[in-house]
Structure 1
Amino acid sequence: MGEQFVPSMPAGADWDRDQWVAYADRLLAAARPFASAGNARITFPGAEGGYGRAVDGLEGFARTFLLAGFRIAGARGEGVDDLIDFYARGIAAGVDPDAEDRWVRLDEHGQAKVEAASLAVVLDMTRPWIWERLDATTRERVIAYLAPAVGDDTYPKTNWLWFRLVVETFLRSVGGPWSPEDVAADLALHDSLVREDGWISDGFERAYDHYVGWALHVYPVLWSRMQGADELAGDRTAGDVALLDRYLQDAVALVGGDGSPLVQGRSLIYRYAAAAPFWVGAIAGVPSVPLGQLRRAAGAMVGHFAERGAPDADGILSLGWHDEWRMLAQSYSGTGSPYWAVKGLLGIALPADHPVWTAEPIALPIETGDDLRSVRAAGWIVSATAADGIVRVINHGTDKALAGGLVGDSPLYARIGYSTATAPLLDADAWLAPLEQSAVLVSGDGRVTHRSAMELLDVRVQDDTDGRVGIATSRSRAHWITPRPAENRHGAGVAGDVEIAGTVEIHSLVRGPWEVRLVRVTDLTAAGVEAVALRIGGWAVAADADAGITRVVAEDGALAAAGALRSSIRSLGVDVAASVVVRADAGPLGAYSAVPVVETAVAPGEWTAVIVELSATDAAPQSPAGVVIDADGTISVTWPDARATTSRLIDSGRA
């Protein structure tokens, strides 16, 4: 059933510097034909983005300018005169208020504040080759263009804090306006978002995603190297690097055996921007993760996409994952948006004599064996299996919601599981009715509950003579939601009118490719409770054709297989109705997505136990699994590999 799965790192994992530069040069060359007459806007082909063509063009310029800056800095300005001239000309037109292709100003549209940060970082990074060669009028206009950032308190209290901070740092260095109060406030905000083990929340919501790395860890290091930043940083830089170092210990373990990053969180069209923190770790000289491993992690990610159609045959990064799939983008995304991916090429800013290029390659955790760890801040158990190269995250603490805020579940954040081999469903139904990697209450009329904002109760790895088991627990006020219309989708769940259905506890015990999921409804508060069922969904697998999906439905569960992957869910002692749900055009990894599902009657106070699996279709045959739950909270599990473990649940209010 299915094809053989042999995890293999892409060739990019072993690229030398010349190969990195060649890849970057291809992207830059492909962008040139889409430049405006003055080079100030680069508008890639495709439907207009949510913010309009002018913003699309600004993004196209600013984000490719990031890559051009890395290229120029790494070459120390030698042999890149054409690149310097092209972007210098674009800057002059962009800040000329009379130019037809002038840039959207910061006080005209909020997206300009994001792009201004890229302009500031690169103008500082390439100061001898671009800024110092601009004529006096253009310099004055650049300062005037960036100046509205000063004192602007409308920047969101998220990773955007760094956009204002790097702009003001650059302005200060060139004699422009800046605010010490803004700098102090932004640094204080950043520090307030720091959580355990080097993880940083993207705002005050429980938002843990790739922004932790490609923004909240990258900018502190780049900022600390800007001219004059040392006078603003005081003694904080060592602490920022220590946080980065600890974060990278987890980040290298989240790279799949085929180089894929985790398919979780918003802005996934930025693809291998997720490689940026590895390069910034090399720039900062972190002590715990070797240079050879950092380079390999970055190369594996970029290579993963390079071998799967990104960029496309024309050298363009489309809105999608491997290839174009516009539903993956947020509502604000335009044709230039995917070029934030170039952060993952930050390494080319390091010159040829930097030791990262000659460091001995070091295998990633997924290449050396199975890995099981907890990420306490995010409420994740991470289980990676070397045999199939899959990294799985079992999630009990991330939902992009404020604590206590009852909103809809975002498929990008609030599902129970994410992996490097699967994608959450992202069609319209996915935002309203969680299916894959969920445990929901379903009303008689078909309404499905959400679990945001869940309460994380436990996340840890048990390591004793019975074997290592990841344990995570959460409790939620399961609720139905009637959504209100939303103008913009920025990755969070829908808001609307809420009706509480009851309280649901979910306990996950994790080993290898398996999760024993224990679900208990401790109370039902909705009217018509007799019509409520409990539905539990497994992993979604994808295929390019419906015929490419194998469906197996039995009395105790269901299995869906597609290509090299199989996903199954089986009941452990509870009567269920099983099915495989297939949806068309619901995810970025294939035209059809399939989810095995079981449904059972709700018995308040009683446990429903299932075993959920994601593995290669050619994985070894398995033994029947079993679970015994004692009254004192002791859980004895017999796993499909015939190992037996004993764990204890935390006291979650048992009578």
Structure 2
Amino acid sequence: MLLPPLDYQLSPCTGLTRGHWCAYADHLLRSAHHFGTPDHANIHLPGANSRYGPRSDSLEAFARTFLLASFRIAGDPATTGWIADWYAAGLDAGTNPANPDRWPTPGELGQAKVEAASLAVGLALTRDVLWDKLPQRVQEQLIAWFETVIGEEYPPINWVWFQIVVETFLASVGGRSSDEDIDAGLAIHDSLYRGGGWFADGPERAYDHYVGWAFQVYPQLWALMAPNDPRVIARKALDGDRLADYLDDAAYLVGANGAPLIQGRSLIYRFAAAAPFWVGELSGHTRLAPGMARRAASGMLDYFARHGSITEDGLLSIGWHREFPGMKQAYSGAGSPYWAAKGMLGLALPADHRVWTAVEAPLPVEVADTQRLITAPGWQVDGTAADGVVRIRNHATDHAVPGALVSDSPLYARFGYSTHTFPDLNPESRDNAVVFVSPDGALTHRTGFEYLGSFAEGGVQVGASRFTAHWIEPDPDAGPDHGSGVTGTATPGPSVTVVSATRGAVELRLVRVAGSSVAPLRIGGWPVDSASSVVSSVLPVPGFGLSLDTSGTFVRSGAHPMGSELAIPWVGTSGTAHDGDYAAVVVLAGDGGASADTGVTFVAGEDGGRFVFPDGASVALARLARFDA
């Protein structure tokens, strides 16, 4: 792949320009086309199949690369005729009822409902270049294929948007559509709103990148598809304000290394996390400077390109950096990673748009240390400018409902996530955990916890949750992995309250144990690759609470998404834990950040005492005890 020279005048942070984005897009498209069928209807990429099989996966590869193609065509119709021609042939062959290799319809296959949305959005964005030039026979074939979504049931999650955009496209080209379907989908969308620009992906506490690349992106694409629809007009301010609010938070969740927050399912979509930054510019609903929006997006593309996400064959693999099959979920096939196409939405904007002409502006974490409380997911964000690391401590997200007794989902239920560490993918783990260890070595889980709230005071952020620690014997017939914890037989343990007081790289983790302690306690730190320069440490707090008299480092040998061996430090009790309070300092620092022995001290006093952070900031024990009620 031939890339233009880096331009550090226009893009002082990444050097990337629109020319680089075009080159990456064209390389991804040409590489995928090598695996297309002669009629272009299907792209059979090498690698694993999803649970839906190769017919679904080859449609998925076509539809998702077509979405990328549509962005290129929309933003540069004069030089992308080769792309339009390639996909025009596939649109014909894929929907031709006489073709034995035709696509399964959305009425025949659930996954086709997802891919239909990419096709509809792409055709809407390129209508004058592609749709209007298709023969009437092909247009009729596509309409008939799309119309199988009408009246279909869609899960009450982000999927409702797939039906909304398809039926909106149908209405725009003379096909049948259902106002009832669209209105019902919009109602579900609104029911999932949790404030501050954040949506839950269903009735559970499922907060992740789907907030940005689905719940915030589709309303704006829908508005572009049907600007005169009364529903679009009525919702414009509402949806626009929600997007702007979300982007205000999202800017704080990108590390100086370019990585998005490593949390939540479908992480194999990688730089799709850039999509909301682009859609803010596309729609005009953003308070971010255009240079910062591009810096966030270009940082993500550069991060993944530098870390091998594009294979030697020019394909996107299942993984985070390079290929890692362990990240495959039940719905993942070889074409699935191409939802990353959403992260290239900016290519739909012409070269003279302000997002491409503005000088890159630094991210919040590149300007100064950052702190931010995000209420809906219960995240306290701490970014440190010295090392560019963004961390969250998590007390309200677990991809479950309060009271659920299931295993922890590794990508949702940990106490912490960052832009520089990848979670241990084993559900039972010391990774950012407070767990008890059974005689046979099994660890407890916290999912189903109660969120107790959060506050900030004196430069310290505080969040808390309470849970019944429980062991899970997994159900062998638990069903496919869609991000939630595994069900099974639960054995309850002690009640545990955890309070996280954070400042920068340092977390003071207070643990109160109550009720029939039956096993040793372990307080785990951040998971880091053994070869990494990132520092992860856990230390007791002298002079406070019950003794944490043993420590160690758990090592999980073998490849993980960011390296070859995972190490997790921990402290704990050498014997059975007792009812009472424990305190540990949990540190994550990158190059140039805090040292490994950064500590918090406890200073006793008549008011109950204070915890003092290394830079002198402090928080009173009495303030932390407010969560005991």
TM-score by length of 2: 0.94
Determine the C-alpha separation between the residues in 1 that align with 2:225 and 2:590.
Answer: 47
Determine the C-alpha separation between the residues in 2 that align with 1:575 and 1:353.
Answer: 60
Counterpart selection for 1:563 from 517, 532, 541: 532
For residue 484 of structure 1, what is the aligned residue in structure 2?
475
Are 1:625 and 2:613 counterparts?
no
Task: Give the 3-state SS of the residue equivalent to 2:469 in structure 1.
Answer: strand
For residue 415 of structure 1, what is the aligned residue in structure 2?
414
- 1:342 positional shift: 1.1
Determine the C-alpha separation between the residues in 2 that align with 1:405 and 1:509.
Answer: 26
For residue 320 of structure 2, what is the aligned residue in structure 1?
321
Determine the C-alpha separation between the residues in 1 that align with 2:336 and 2:330.
Answer: 11
- 1:624 positional shift: 4.5
Matches within 5 A, 1:162-201: 162-201=161-200
For residue 528 of structure 2, what is the aligned residue in structure 1?
541
8 Å contact kept, 1:14–1:296? no
Amino acid at match of 2:137: T
Task: Give the 3-state SS of the residue equivalent to 1:146 in structure 2.
Answer: helix
Matches within 5 A, 1:588-603: 588-600=561-573, 601=575, 603=577
Are 1:609 and 2:583 counterparts?
yes
Matches within 5 A, 1:104-123: 104-123=104-123
Determine the C-alpha separation between the residues in 1 that align with 2:260 and 2:394.
Answer: 16
- 1:640 positional shift: 3.3
Are 1:305 and 2:304 counterparts?
yes
Matches within 5 A, 1:467-478: 468-478=459-469
For residue 512 of structure 1, what is the aligned residue in structure 2?
504
Determine the C-alpha separation between the residues in 1 that align with 2:390 and 2:119.
Answer: 35
For residue 649 of structure 1, what is the aligned residue in structure 2?
624
Q: 1:378 to 1:576 in 2, by over 3 A?
A: same
Determine the C-alpha separation between the residues in 2 that align with 1:293 and 1:619.
Answer: 23
Are 1:581 and 2:554 counterparts?
yes
Gaps of 5+ in 1: 1-7, 543-548, 550-561
For residue 295 of structure 1, what is the aligned residue in structure 2?
294
Determine the C-alpha separation between the residues in 2 that align with 1:585 and 1:452.
Answer: 27
Amino acid at match of 1:610: A
Amino acid at match of 1:106: P
Amino acid at match of 1:596: P
Are 1:98 and 2:93 counterparts?
no
Amino acid at match of 1:460: F
8 Å contact kept, 2:521–2:577? no
Task: Give the 3-state SS of the residue equivalent to 1:649 in structure 2.
Answer: helix
Q: 1:334 to 1:620 in 2, by over 3 A?
A: closer
Matches within 5 A, 1:232-631: 232-426=231-425, 430-431=426-427, 433-462=428-457, 464=458, 468-485=459-476, 486-524=478-516, 529=517, 531-542=518-529, 549=530, 562-573=531-542, 574-585=547-558, 587-600=560-573, 601=575, 603-616=577-590, 619=593, 624-627=599-602
Task: Give the 3-state SS of the residue equivalent to 1:143 in structure 2.
Answer: helix
Task: Give the 3-state SS of the residue equivalent to 1:609 in structure 2.
Answer: strand
For residue 4 of structure 2, what is the aligned residue in structure 1?
none
- 1:653 positional shift: 3.9
8 Å contact kept, 1:520–1:604? no
Amino acid at match of 2:36: A
Determine the C-alpha separation between the residues in 2 that align with 1:236 and 1:383.
Answer: 34
Amino acid at match of 1:183: I
Amino acid at match of 2:93: A
After superposition, give the CA deviation of every residue in 1:563-603 in whole Å (9 maximum; x if it has no partner). 21111001114232111111123620011100011221555
For residue 554 of structure 1, what is the aligned residue in structure 2?
none
Determine the C-alpha separation between the residues in 2 that align with 1:627 and 1:112.
Answer: 58
Amino acid at match of 2:57: D
For residue 3 of structure 1, what is the aligned residue in structure 2?
none
Q: 1:296 to 1:597 in 2, by over 3 A?
A: same
Amino acid at match of 1:511: R
Determine the C-alpha separation between the residues in 2 that align with 1:630 and 1:146.
Answer: 70
8 Å contact kept, 1:37–1:101? no
For residue 553 of structure 1, what is the aligned residue in structure 2?
none
- 1:69 positional shift: 0.2
Q: 1:516 to 1:322 in 2, by over 3 A?
A: same
For residue 19 of structure 1, what is the aligned residue in structure 2?
20
For residue 64 of structure 1, what is the aligned residue in structure 2?
65
Determine the C-alpha separation between the residues in 1 that align with 2:215 and 2:231.
Answer: 18
Determine the C-alpha separation between the residues in 2 that align with 1:230 and 1:293.
Answer: 32
Determine the C-alpha separation between the residues in 2 that align with 1:197 and 1:616.
Answer: 30
Q: Using the TM superposition, name which of 449-458 and 610-619 deviates more.
A: 610-619
CA RMSD of aligned residues (A): 2.0
Task: Give the 3-state SS of the residue equivalent to 1:652 in structure 2.
Answer: helix
8 Å contact kept, 2:464–2:627? no
- 1:345 positional shift: 0.7
- 1:86 positional shift: 0.6
Amino acid at match of 2:124: D
8 Å contact kept, 1:477–1:504? yes
Q: 1:569 to 1:127 in 2, by over 3 A?
A: same
After superposition, give the CA deviation of every residue in 1:599-647 in whole Å (9 maximum; x if it has no partner). 2155554111000001136546556532358897x66112234554436
Determine the C-alpha separation between the residues in 2 that align with 1:631 and 1:498.
Answer: 43
Determine the C-alpha separation between the residues in 2 that align with 1:172 and 1:164.
Answer: 12
Determine the C-alpha separation between the residues in 2 that align with 1:637 and 1:130.
Answer: 64
8 Å contact kept, 1:424–1:587? no
Identity across matched positions, percent: 47
- 1:407 positional shift: 1.4
After superposition, give the CA deviation of every residue in 1:441-477 in whole Å (9 maximum; x if it has no partner). 2223333211111111012222x3xxx0010000112
8 Å contact kept, 1:72–1:126? yes
- 1:287 positional shift: 4.3
Determine the C-alpha separation between the residues in 1 that align with 2:266 and 2:599.
Answer: 40
Determine the C-alpha separation between the residues in 1 that align with 2:494 and 2:581.
Answer: 15
Q: Using the TM superposition, name which of 286-295 and 333-342 deviates more.
A: 286-295
Determine the C-alpha separation between the residues in 2 that align with 1:22 and 1:11.
Answer: 19
- 1:494 positional shift: 0.2
Amino acid at match of 1:536: I
- 1:501 positional shift: 1.3
Which consecutive segments of 4 or more residues in structure 1 shift more than 6 A? 8-12, 629-632
- 1:391 positional shift: 0.4
Gaps of 5+ in 2: 1-7
Q: 1:619 to 1:274 in 2, by over 3 A?
A: closer
Task: Give the 3-state SS of the residue equivalent to 1:217 in structure 2.
Answer: helix
8 Å contact kept, 2:541–2:599? no
8 Å contact kept, 1:147–1:177? yes
After superposition, give the CA deviation of every residue in 1:108-131 in whole Å (9 maximum; x if it has no partner). 221111000000111111111111
8 Å contact kept, 1:165–1:183? yes
After superposition, give the CA deviation of every residue in 1:532-558 in whole Å (9 maximum; x if it has no partner). 12111100101xxxxxx3xxxxxxxxx
After superposition, give the CA deviation of every residue in 1:258-280 in whole Å (9 maximum; x if it has no partner). 10111110000000000000000
8 Å contact kept, 1:256–1:389? yes
Q: 1:347 to 1:188 in 2, by over 3 A?
A: same
For residue 124 of structure 2, what is the aligned residue in structure 1?
124
For residue 3 of structure 2, what is the aligned residue in structure 1?
none
Determine the C-alpha separation between the residues in 2 that align with 1:651 and 1:322.
Answer: 42
What is the number of residues matched between the two proteins? 613
